Amino acid sequence: AFSRAYEGDVPYQDYWWVYGPLMPYYYGSFFKALGVTIPSLMVGKLLLIIISGVFIYLSLSLYAKPSISFLAAAWYFLTYQDFFFTFNHAGGVAAIIVTTYCLLLYLKDQKTIRLYFALISIFLTCLIKVNFGLCNLLGLTIAVLFLDKLNGSPIDAKKTRYYITSLIILPACVFSIYFMLLHKLPIYAIRQCLPYLKSDHPYNVSLGEAFKIFLDINKFHFSQNLGNMFIISIIGISILQVIFAIKTTKGFFVVHKKAANAFVILLFFYILNLHEFILSGVYYRMFWTQPFSIMLTFLIISFAAGMLSKFARNLLLFGLLFCLTMIFSNHSLMMKALKIPINYMPIERTKVFTINPPQWKYTVFQTTEFLKSNLKENETFFALPYDTLYHYLTNKKSPTRQLIFFEHLNIPAEQEEKIIKELEEKNVNWVLLSSRLSLDKKGMGIFGKTYCPILHQYINDTFEEVVRYGDWVNEPGWAWNHGTMILKRK
């Protein structure tokens, strides 16, 4: 998607894309500036992570001690939960953190201008992942109403203009952009790009099931290493200390009103950004909430530290710093151990180390070399079920707009016929099939049986196998047990 945007193609219209339209252009600019390699993308992603960490520090330092705020940002940098399957979400997380910072500034000084900067971040979030943008717009509106009611602030002309901007102008702008990009597409293609209906994605769980998964994941995470066990112990002690302070301090919430409100806002946005996880139970969809869990944790620690003696407070800071040092040391040792020749991808457009199994890397290398050696300069190939990696590695565009083929895409016969027409019009002579083609798992499906029977028949009738690489015996995964089959027109 990023290389296609760099080459001038438009998301949705020229190629399938399941997120917002902004990030392909963001990362495409790094391709333009630094060259078309994966390290170029990593520079762009690193910049977003740094922005996120800086705004975590700025947000917390409004209501917590600077030293604690710094440690929170450092904790985020060192424990960053990676969206390893896409670079898209790093931008969304950064934009949401900036929104939170603007809201916390508004809590502090009640200046409406802060909210307009929050709306800019919300607008960008909508163009990165629209459901998170709209969800956080709803959260921002509720939070502002709550704070204004709490402070007795009337809805005057200035605030009325803000609400018109946030609830009418901003959604209208977002809708206009998506309409401009999507209106020429059939309904089935729009649903494949914006899969927000229950039937459009494979994972659906009940609230109870999501809660159980949530507890299991956190239980595993907190018991994973001594650093996590230490921080959970500190959180527990800090919570007990805060409860004790509430019970023994008269007018506690009056004295600490803004800090308490900041905590409520962070907790509210934490819950709000869990919505994808709650609906699906997919663990990596919890990653959107990591900044809020860190800010909540260190806000509690900061408040509890304020009630300690200077010696005890310094001891706590030393303990947190020691934990971070150990995490950094472990990461450094792990990186050093992994940066060995067998983990290096020698293909021209990669230039990165990866921990994918050697067999996976070898299959990718063999397949890429075959395609580069046997296809003419003006030839391309059709890849399925979801193997756009090879289009990137060979610098050849997909001949079809549709890039992904699984059961949960609900590809209708009309779309299959259109894809076949594209292949015939462009005289495509090569097809690449990967072993994920037939995967009897929820939402994945078996090619020709549970999805795309017409396309399956067309490929069988028109193409024949030339070469096969990799693992076709074991159950395939997205980064392991990878097999490929290359077919040529008869």
Q: How much is the pLDDT for 249? A: 73
CA distances to 20, 129, 406 from 126, rounded to whole Å, are: 7, 5, 26
In Å, what is the CA distance from 490 to each residue of 270, 461, 463? 56, 9, 5
More confident residue, 105 or 225: 105
Q: How far apart are CA 303 and CA 88, in angstroms?
A: 35
Residue-level pLDDT at 392: 95
Q: Which sequence spans correspond to the domains of the chain?
A: 2-335, 344-489
Other beta carbons within 10 angstroms of residue 98's beta carbon come to 23
* Rounded alpha-carbon distances, angstroms, from residue 2 to 32, 88, 381, 422, 477: 11, 10, 19, 22, 23
Q: Is the dihedral of CA 333, 336, 339, 342 positive or negative?
A: negative
Rounded to whole angstroms, the Cα distance separating 357 from 355 reads 6
Q: What is the pLDDT of residue 227?
A: 67
| Better-scored residue on pLDDT, 251 or 129 | 129
Q: How confident is the model at residue 130 (pLDDT cuts 50, 70, 90)?
A: very high
pLDDT of residue 253: 64
3 state SS of 469: strand
Q: Which two tokens stand for residue 229?
A: 């066990």
Tokens 């946030």 belong to 166
Tens-digit pLDDT profile for residues 300-316: 988 888 887 888 888 88
- How many whole angstroms separate alpha carbon 293 and alpha carbon 301? 12
pLDDT confidence of 267, banded at 50, 70, 90?
very high
Residue 145 token pair: 């109403």
Residue 251's pLDDT is 66
> The domain 344-489 is classified under which CATH number: 3.30.450, 2.40.50, 3.40.50, 3.40.1360?
3.40.50
Instruction: Give the DSSP H/E element, type plus range, for residue 259.
Output: helix 257-272
DSSP 269-328: HHHHTTHHHHHH--GGGGGGGHHHHHHHHHHHHHHHHTTS-HHHHHHHHHHHHHHHHHHH
* 202-256 per-position pLDDT tens digit: 888 888 998 898 888 888 777 766 667 777 888 888 888 888 877 777 766 666 7
Closest CA to 68 of 237, 303, 322, 231: 303
Q: Is the pLDDT of residue 419 over 70?
A: yes
The conformation of residue 483, written as its DSSP 8-state character, comes to: E
pLDDT digits (tens, 9 = 90+) for 426-436: 999 999 999 99
